[in-house]
Amino acid sequence: MKPVVALVGRANVGKSTLFNRLTGTRDAIVADLPGLTRDRHYGDAKFGGRELIVVDTGGFEPQKPTGIVAAMARQTMQAVAEADAVIFVVDLRAGLSAQDHDIARYLRQAGKRVLLAVNKAEGMSDSPRLAEFHELGIGEPHPISAAHGQGIRSLMEAVLEVLPPPAHEPEEGDEGERPIRLAVAGRPNVGKSTLINAWLGEERLVAFDQPGTTRDAIRVPLERGGRRYELIDTAGLRRKGRVFEAVEKFSVVKTLQAIADAHVVVLLLDATQGVGEQDAHIAGYILDAGRAVVIAVNKWDAADRYQREQFERSLEQRLAFLRYAPRVHISALKRQGLGPLWKAIGEAYASATRKLPTPVLTRLVLDAVAHQAPKRAGAFRPKLRYAHQGGMNPPIVVIHGTALEHVTDAYKRYLEGRIREHFQLVGTPLRIELRSARNPFVERDT
């Protein structure tokens, strides 16, 4: 499971700049939820061979905030509660402030692993002003410049040292030995916990937790039909309060972790509510993570004819990129449709882990080219010569040839369709990589 690193500090110290530096993008918002876009951003980062989830937060005022500042403080506190490590960002040029002391006091009480990043230190890494930040009692200050990338490597090396060690993943040959990790993801109140209760055959409060406490995605072992599963519930923290109630019941970071850690994700939708932007964001992350997915439409029995028509229309519009995913209509409350859902989950997992023999793949590609050759690009016509499997979960097909950089996306989709049809791949993304042979006559030494 990906560890979580939260960026915390008062306003205008450079947290967002550091966030962009770590994620390698200026548009790395993974979760776009009402009330969160201004103060919390989620992004993926990779450093030292480890993948991380980085959380950017708004300006933090832990001491009796009011109004929108209070709402921002609550969200920052939740980010700290969810984090495995916290980077406390301060401003070297502005110097130490009373607010920095308040934040440091809160972080010490939270009992988290905290790294102190002294930003805007370009050209001042040996400045005596760094010494005053020892007053915070957080530890050794790390001088950095988020804008210029200075000191980021040493800071992240220190972060990796305090993170929990990565969980051991069994080798590929042990795939049949370990349980299938099955995550249930969706918006608040679509019935995730009800579905898990229906699978378990008992009532369990898998979505409830105490306000402000850390909570990992709950994992429940299950054996069905001689196959072992590990259910991962992604329902988040629950708190009282009208404005942020829906947001806080949906813990974004835990959902991202559960999706990345799963073999198969059940994307649970509400037939009475249609497909919203939040559903599309979750679906997009499932696609980016390369997870097999089954779309389960809950509360189908409670939807009238008009709602069902509207739902199907919104599904086609917002989740067109998941056309390969099987759709199952269920009622978690009445335990209807669970048999077809389990069948779809099994087929999606089998497709994601299917072995694609090299001779069969090569013959499929050559037959596809014979039926429809790729378009010529100027003086170049791409030539596809052979293919092999480059990985599984998701399946990766590597095609070798010449001038393959001129193959269009439309032609790649055509090849994907032929491969999917032959191997009956359902519920899993299929990635095609094109590798051109090096031209020996290019860039020769003269």
- Residue at 172 is within a domain: no
The least confident of 3-7, 201-205, 431-435 is 201-205
Gap between the Cα atoms of 298 and 335, Å rounded: 10
| 156 and 204 in a common domain | no
Confidence label for 118 from pLDDT (cuts 50, 70 and 90)? very high
pLDDT score recorded for residue 256: 80
Domain assignment present for residue 169? The answer is no
**pLDDT at residue 298 greater than cutoff 50:** yes
Hey, how many other C-beta atoms are within 10 angstroms of the C-beta on 391? Answer: 13
- The predicted model scores a pTM of 0.66
Residue 211: pLDDT above 60?
no
What's the pLDDT band for 70 if we cut at 50, 70, 90? confident
Task: Give domain status of residue 167, yes or no.
Answer: no
Please tell me whether residues 98 and 218 are part of one structural domain. no
pLDDT digits (tens, 9 = 90+) for 128-168: 888 899 999 988 999 999 988 999 999 999 999 999 887 65
Task: Report the pLDDT value the prediction gives residue 7, as an integer from 0 to 100.
Answer: 93
Q: What is the pLDDT of residue 251?
A: 57
- Does the structure show a pLDDT above 50 at 208? no
Q: Do 138 and 204 share a domain, yes or no?
A: no
Residue 66 has a pLDDT of 64
- Residue 215 pLDDT level (bands cut at 50, 70, 90): very low
Domain assignment of residue 446, yes or no: no
Kindly tell me if the per-residue pLDDT of 109 is higher than 70.
Answer: yes
| Max Cα distance, the chain (Å) | 76
Residue 445: pLDDT over 60: no
**255/381: higher pLDDT:** 381
d(CA 99, CA 406) in angstroms, rounded, equals 56
Q: Give the Cβ contact number of residue 420 at 10 Å.
A: 16
Shared-domain flag, residues 274 and 221 = yes
Question: Of 331, 352, 373, which marks where a domain is finished?
Answer: 352
Residue range 231-265, pLDDT digits in tens: 876 653 333 333 344 344 445 676 787 888 899 99
- For residues 333 and 390, state if they share a domain: no
* pLDDT for res 210: 33
Whether 52 and 124 map to the same domain: the answer is yes
Task: Say yes or no: 146 and 220 in one domain.
Answer: no
pLDDT at position 67: 66
The answer for residues whose C-beta is within 8 angstroms of residue 362's C-beta and 6 or more apart is: 386, 387, 388
Is there a single domain that holds both residue 227 and residue 138?
no
The answer on pLDDT for 11 being more than 70 is yes
pLDDT at 57 over 90: no
Q: How far apart are alpha carbons 201 and 345 in whole angstroms?
A: 18
Tell whether 217 is covered by a domain: yes
Q: Is the residue at 168 inside a domain?
A: no
Query: What integer best gives the mean pLDDT of the chain?
Result: 81
Predicted confidence (pLDDT) at residue 220 exceeds the cutoff of 90: no
pLDDT band at 207 (very low <50, low <70, confident <90, very high): very low
Percent of the chain with pLDDT over 70: 81
- For the segment 366-384, the average pLDDT, to the nearest whole number, is 88
pLDDT at res. 235: 52
Q: Do 341 and 397 sit in the same domain of this protein?
A: no
Q: How many CB atoms lie within 10 A of CB 192?
A: 26
What is the mean pLDDT of the segment spanning 51-59? Answer: 86
Of 352, 377, 399, the one marking the end of a domain is: 352
- Let me know whether 182 and 123 are in one domain: no
Average pLDDT over residues 64-69: 66
Structural domains of the chain, count: 3
The CATH number given to whatever domain includes residue 417 is 3.30.300.20
Q: Domain for residue 445, yes or no?
A: no
Band (pLDDT 50/70/90 cuts) for residue 442 is low
pLDDT for the residue 260: 85
Categorize the per-residue pLDDT at 177 as very low, low, confident or very high, splitting at 50, 70 and 90.
low
More confident residue, 122 or 41: 122
**267 and 338 within one domain:** yes
User: What is the pLDDT at residue 400?
Assistant: 94
Q: What is the pLDDT of residues 326-357, one digit of tens each?
A: 999 999 989 999 999 999 999 999 999 999 99
Q: Model confidence over 78-91: pLDDT tens digits?
A: 888 888 999 999 99
pLDDT of residue 175: 46
Band of the pLDDT at 202, cuts 50, 70, 90?
Answer: low
Residue-level pLDDT at 311? 92
| Proportion of the chain above pLDDT 90, given as a percent | 44
- Reading the block at residue 158, the tokens are 């220190």
Residues 127 and 29 in one domain: yes
Q: What is the CATH number of the domain that holds 290?
A: 3.40.50.300
Q: Which of 309, 332, 352 is the last residue of a domain?
A: 352
Q: How much is the average pLDDT of 416-436? A: 93
Domain of 405? Answer: 358-436
Residue 206: closest CA among 227, 237, 229: 237
Q: Check pLDDT > 70 for residue 65.
A: no
Residue 170 lies in a domain: no
